[in-house]
């Protein structure tokens, strides 16, 4: 295979991989992972870069001396103090030059054939990286094609170096090798013991066959083979020979992309658990609303029963008084009295019967007003009690997690929960649901609401509904009284009149029951629709998050499968 064909195949594979990386950038951004999206964009840029060979290690571990020996030139400064405080990217150019490219990055050009298709990255000490130079972990490590960990052969146990190793090899899955420097300063026994221990530490971290180079940068100046630097050069040439570095670079980039997808999957699983908990909470809310509706319905039934009992009792008293007025003695007494009291004050039998009807209506209205006020208060105490329970649970749910700002899978959740809590609190303010209605708005909902004065307090709508139903029924009964007492032969028609009045009162009681059932049910439905509406943003947000989560999972799984199928072989 010629170099041209090799490069052509590499370009085709790179084009396929960059397509996957572009989809990865879009997916991570859509799923609320801006840092991951930035890393994916860095991987996308890295696909077009040379093979990246990153040298890492603790301060004064001999990294700079190793790089100078590797390239046969004084490329990096070597001094007793920690002098490498910036990242140096070393590539091949015709002349040696230095060109700053940022506060933390310096680009260095070295004319050395070892750098064909290769760039070496010299880094600050790992303790400095972790504490002060996060850019290398965010910009270089995910893009590294090979990371060379350097340790002094006298002390290969640096905690910070091994912690950084866990990030590079474990978290990012980068290819790694090891260099034990300053070999000329150690005894054979020290070299044997520490080399063996380094291999053990590497195997404990999943590197089954660690590649270890024993380097003496000082000795390599005169004899590269004896100093160990030539072995490292051969390793680099083997990686780059025959295009192996191309394949390795693409595969390393693919593994980094898979790592980002793994992190996304973990995030989606976490958001899925949060969503499931919210869905369970939504079901609890709906269930509590149903339970509250049943409880309020029972209170409404008690209210209706009490009103019916009052109607039955007062209608029986009215019928007894009505019947007494229709006796012969009652009729004659009223007629004789009317002879002595001429004029507008004359109390005719017809007038007396009309007065009885008006008294019945007033007594019933007065008693029902008291019953309705107490019953309505009980209804809304029940509704408000359940609403407050829901509000407390909603507040606890809001504290259950702290989603990242701008996360479309849960970032709106906190705002929505706060909005819903505020809406429910407003509903419960100043006496409970439906509070704040003025007399005109109550009257508009029920044309008879203004009769007798509408109390704009808790339960107004129920009290008005009950009272207006009673007024409708008793008004009809009293109005019918006029037709019954018309004429002059009331006594002779007494049985017929009593039967008709009894029938009308019974019909009125049945009508009252139906009216109360319909009106109370309608009012309860209205209250619970309004209460449920207060929670609707929460329900809608759950549905929207569910759709977004499902879409993210589908796209993640499809891309994961595509990257796992991608092969450079």
Q: Which residue, among 52, 567, 545, 544, has the nearest Cα to 273 in the 3D structure?
A: 545
Q: How does DSSP classify residue 171?
A: I
Show the tokens assigned to 410: 């849960």
Q: Which residue, among 133, 130, 139, has the nearest Cα to 162 in the 3D structure?
A: 130
> Alpha-carbon distance 365 to 379, whole Å?
20
Q: What is the pTM of this model?
A: 0.61
**How far separated are the first and last CA of the chain, in Å rounded?**
14
**What's the rounded mean pLDDT across residues 503-529?**
81
Determine the pLDDT at residue 443.
Answer: 43
> Alpha-carbon distance 182 to 204, whole Å?
25
Is residue 326 pLDDT above 80, yes or no?
A: no
> Alpha-carbon distance 547 to 154, whole Å?
57
- The 3 state secondary structure assigned to 399-452 is CCCCCCCCCCCCHHHHHHHHHHHHHHHHHHHHHCCCCCCCHHHHHHHCCCCCCC
Query: Three-state SS for 351?
Result: helix
Q: 2-19 burial, b if ≥16 CB within 10 A, otherwise e?
A: eeeeeeeebeebbeebbe
CA 516 to chain centre: 43
Q: Which residue, among 68, 70, 107, 69, has the nearest Cα to 90 in the 3D structure?
A: 107
> Alpha-carbon distance 164 to 63, whole Å?
15
- Please state, in angstroms and as integers, the Cα–Cα distance from residue 21 to each residue in 14, 88, 176, 522, following that order: 10, 26, 23, 58
27-79 pLDDT tens trace: 999 988 888 898 898 888 777 777 788 888 877 778 888 999 999 888 876 55
Is residue 467 pLDDT above 70, yes or no?
A: no
CA-only gyration radius of the chain, Å: 45
231-260 pLDDT tens trace: 999 888 877 765 666 777 788 788 889 989
Show the tokens assigned to 231: 């072995």
Q: Which residues contact 158 (CB under 8 A, 6 or more apart)?
A: 57, 58, 61, 126, 151
Q: Which residue, among 340, 428, 351, 366, has the nearest Cα to 391 in the 3D structure?
A: 428
Q: Which residue, among 391, 409, 380, 379, has the nearest Cα to 34 in the 3D structure?
A: 409
Q: Which residue, among 108, 102, 117, 121, has the nearest Cα to 56 in the 3D structure?
A: 121
Domain ranges of the chain: 31-227, 277-434+472-565
Q: Which residue, among 337, 367, 362, has the nearest Cα to 351 in the 3D structure?
A: 337
Q: Which residue, among 176, 162, 236, has the nearest Cα to 204 in the 3D structure?
A: 162
Task: Tell me what the pLDDT averaged over the chain comes to.
Answer: 76
Is-contact 300 338, C-beta < 8 A? no
Determine the pLDDT at residue 349.
Answer: 61
- Class (C level, CATH) for 31-227: alpha beta
Lowest-confidence range among 83-92, 127-136, 367-376?
127-136
> Alpha-carbon distance 292 to 427, whole Å?
15
Show the tokens assigned to 409: 């899978």
pLDDT band at 521; cut points 50, 70, 90: confident
Is-contact 67 122, C-beta < 8 A? yes
550-561 pLDDT tens trace: 999 999 999 999
């Amino acid at each position: 295979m010629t170099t041209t064909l090799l490069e052509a195949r590499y370009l085709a594979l790179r084009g396929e991989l960059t397509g996957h990386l572009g989809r990865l950038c879009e997916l991570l951004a859509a799923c609320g992972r801006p840092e991951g999206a930035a890393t994916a964009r860095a991987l996308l840029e890295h696909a077009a870069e040379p093979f990246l060979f990153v040298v890492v290690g603790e301060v004064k571990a001999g990294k700079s001396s190793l790089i100078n020996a590797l390239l046969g030139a004084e490329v990096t400064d070597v001094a007793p103090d920690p002098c490498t405080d910036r990242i140096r990217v070393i590539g091949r150019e015709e002349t040696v030059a230095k060109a700053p490219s940022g506060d933390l990055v310096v680009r260095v050009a070295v004319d050395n054939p070892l750098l064909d298709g290769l760039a070496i990255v010299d880094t600050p000490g790992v303790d400095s990286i972790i504490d002060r130079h996060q850019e290398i972990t965010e910009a270089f490590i995910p893009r590294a094609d090979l990371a060379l960990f350097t340790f002094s052969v006298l002390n290969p146990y640096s905690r910070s170096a091994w912690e950084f190793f866990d990030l590079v090899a474990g978290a990012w899955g980068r290819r790694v090798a090891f260099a034990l420097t300053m070999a000329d300063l150690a005894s054979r026994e020290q070299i044997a013991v520490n080399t063996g221990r380094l291999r053990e530490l590497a195997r404990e971290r999943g590197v089954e066959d660690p590649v270890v180079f024993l380097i003496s940068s000082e000795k390599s100046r005169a004899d590269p083979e004896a100093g160990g630097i030539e072995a490292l050069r051969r390793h680099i040439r083997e990686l780059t020979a025959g295009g192996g570095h191309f394949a390795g670079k693409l595969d390393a980039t693919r593994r980094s992309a898979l790592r980002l997808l793994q992190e996304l999957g973990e995030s989606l699983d976490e958001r899925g658990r949060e969503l499931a908990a919210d869905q369970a909470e939504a079901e609890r809310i709906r269930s509590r609303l149903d339970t509250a509706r049943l409880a309020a319905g029972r209170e409404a039934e008690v209210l209706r029963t009490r009103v019916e009992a009052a109607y039955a009792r007062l209608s029986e008293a009215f019928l007894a008084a009505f019947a007494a007025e229709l006796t012969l003695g009652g009729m004659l007494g009223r007629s004789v009295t009317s002879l002595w009291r001429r004029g507008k004050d004359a109390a005719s039998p017809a007038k007396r019967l009309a007065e009885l009807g008006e008294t019945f209506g007033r007594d019933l209205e007065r008693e029902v007003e008291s019953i309705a006020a107490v019953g309505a208060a009980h209804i809304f105490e029940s509704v408000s009690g359940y609403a407050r329970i829901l509000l407390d649970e909603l507040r606890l749910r809001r504290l259950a997690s702290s989603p990242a700002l701008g996360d479309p899978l849960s970032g709106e959740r906190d705002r929505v929960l706060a909005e819903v809590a505020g809406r429910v609190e407003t509903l419960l303010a100043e006496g409970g649901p439906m509070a704040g209605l003025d007399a005109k708005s109550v009257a508009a909902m029920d044309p008879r609401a203004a009769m007798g004065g509408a109390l704009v307090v808790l339960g107004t709508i129920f009290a008005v509904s009950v009272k207006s139903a009673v007024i409708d029924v008793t008004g009809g009964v009293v109005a019918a009284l006029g037709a019954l007492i018309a004429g002059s032969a009331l006594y002779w028609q007494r049985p017929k009149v009593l039967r008709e009045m009894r029938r009308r009162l019974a019909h009125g009681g049945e009508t009252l029951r139906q009216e109360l059932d319909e009106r109370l049910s309608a009012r309860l439905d209205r209250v619970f629709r309004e209460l449920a509406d207060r929670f609707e943003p929460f329900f809608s947000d759950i549905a929207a998050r569910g759709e977004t989560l499902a879409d993210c999972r589908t796209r993640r799984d499809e891309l994961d499968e595509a990257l796992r199928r991608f092969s450079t072989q």
